[in-house]
Amino acid sequence: TAIINLLQLESEEKITAVIQVKEFLPERYLFMATKKGIVKKTSLIEFKNLHKGGLNAIHLDDDDELIGVRFTNGNHDVILGTKWGMAILFPEDDVRAIGRQGRGVRGIRLSDGDEVIAMDTLMPNADVLTVTAEGYGKRTQRDEYRTQTRGGKGLINMKVTEKTGAVIGLKVVRPGQELILITTDGIVIRTKVDEISVISRNTQGVKVVRLGEGDKAASFAAMEQKNN
């Protein structure tokens, strides 16, 4: 079913995230991030009275766009990853909750030409999976990301080179999950997360998927393995 039959989207608007919500509790939040490094936290209760036309969730600058949304409890650690291989980890409570119409605050200070491409919440005993356009990737242990103050430049998350291509995504993964990756040519590739090497932050990773000539990694997701 075309989503336009369900939601009244503007002509240039596209869906960024889908969040499953069972109860609209005041101590739960939607945490948002934009490609220009702005982050925002808004109480879930402010979205209780939704209608088909939607509600404004964040005020965006003209050259900015929303890249990610997470459902949080106010006590998570948030990680942002950028196109050119930087990342920053900061506690969610560094960002105070504001209303739907607000713009938010700076989550990471970007270098010229860089942009945020992913946001996730980082739990203990989890790894950070990073993948690039040319099919390089790696898992990095959580302990390598020291907690910083919101709004800084962050740390090197991946050494981006011409061989690796730009970072296309960053996700927090757990042992036993699977990686589902789709390429610009529409090819879907599936592999076990446990088979991806665990390597330190300041490296370019290893080849995790073989791509056809001219094909690039476009997007990926982590999911639980199905028991055969």
pLDDT for the residue 78: 97
How does the average pLDDT of the chain come out, rounded?
Answer: 90
pLDDT for the residue 119: 96
pLDDT for the residue 226: 66
The rounded distance, in Å, linking the Cα atoms of 166 and 10 is 30
The rounded distance, in Å, linking the Cα atoms of 68 and 116 is 10
The rounded distance, in Å, linking the Cα atoms of 18 and 186 is 22
Q: pLDDT digits over 21-65, tens only?
A: 888 888 899 999 999 999 999 999 988 887 766 778 888 888 999
pLDDT value at 228 more than 70: no
Give me Rg for the CA atoms of the chain: 18
Q: Are 115 and 73 in contact (CB under 8 A)?
A: no
Q: Are 108 and 88 in contact (CB under 8 A)?
A: yes
pLDDT for the residue 43: 93
| Three-class SS of the chain | CCHHHCCCCCCCCCCCCCCCCCCCCCCCEEEEEECCCEEEEEEHHHHCCCCCCCCCCCCCCCCCCEEEEEEECCCCEEEEEECCCEEEEEEHHHCCECCCCCCCEECCCCCCCCCEEEEEEECCCCEEEEEECCCEEEEEEHHHCCCCCCCCCCEECCCCCCCCCCEEEEEEECCCEEEEEEECCCCEEEEEHHHCCECCCCCCCEECCCCCCCCCEEEEEEEECCCC
Ramachandran angles phi, psi of 4, nearest 5°: -65, -20
**Global confidence as pTM:** 0.89
Q: pLDDT digits over 65-97, tens only?
A: 999 999 999 999 999 999 999 999 999 999 999
pLDDT for the residue 227: 59
Q: pLDDT digits over 131-187, tens only?
A: 999 999 999 999 999 999 999 999 999 999 999 999 999 999 998 899 999 999 999
pLDDT value at 106 more than 90: yes
